[in-house]
Structure 1
């Protein structure tokens, strides 16, 4: 599905063959990724688990933002879309690309009959938190993790 909004922004879902196009944008969020081919292989593995990658292109057809998500069902939330990754190039931040992707994901959740959209966000990402809250997200819980 490809859509355009009033700001001549194009949103499209990437398939396996063009995944590496999103490497530079993903690296802004996941700096431990250092190789585009390795990134594409990791995404390919995640696709087997339902991972999808949707991207936003600016008015000059540059890929500037992405959202990686999956359709999940669990006991606490029922069927929902879970956003694993949301990233925008620094030069394109504040221009509405991530918000447009969040609206696209909301529409896809409705289309799939999901009860909602969920995501986790690192505690120091205050700009991202403002976007999520402005987009209708709430903070219903803390996420705990530990290494083993």
Structure 2
């Protein structure tokens, strides 16, 4: 009987520890019910973007930042300069968002033309990035160089 109690207690402990992992990190910009899908500018073609998943994260002056689900899984970050069709950047990670952690650095960063942008998972503590000169234009977006 004692062995059964120890096994049951061990199983209960494992279940409790498994529950302590917290919720998985993701990007609320992609999951908010009221977030409306948008179309990327016609001159931007990103290979891995899932149809109907593009969301506008933020706009500042002539700069637009988008996020989208990637195929077969993962996420894409896209930057466009509305004044210059040739000035755009895109990057995708094929890792599922549930693998990202709010305590780890951003899972995806793009840079070019003096602009740096990176995604931040929900709950990410951006205080170090902000101290290093980044701006948080959206809870899921950090930008430098605007």
Compute the TM-score of the two structures, normalised by the length of structure 1: 0.34
Compute the TM-score of the two structures, normalised by the length of structure 2: 0.34
Q: Which of the two has greater helix per residue?
A: 1
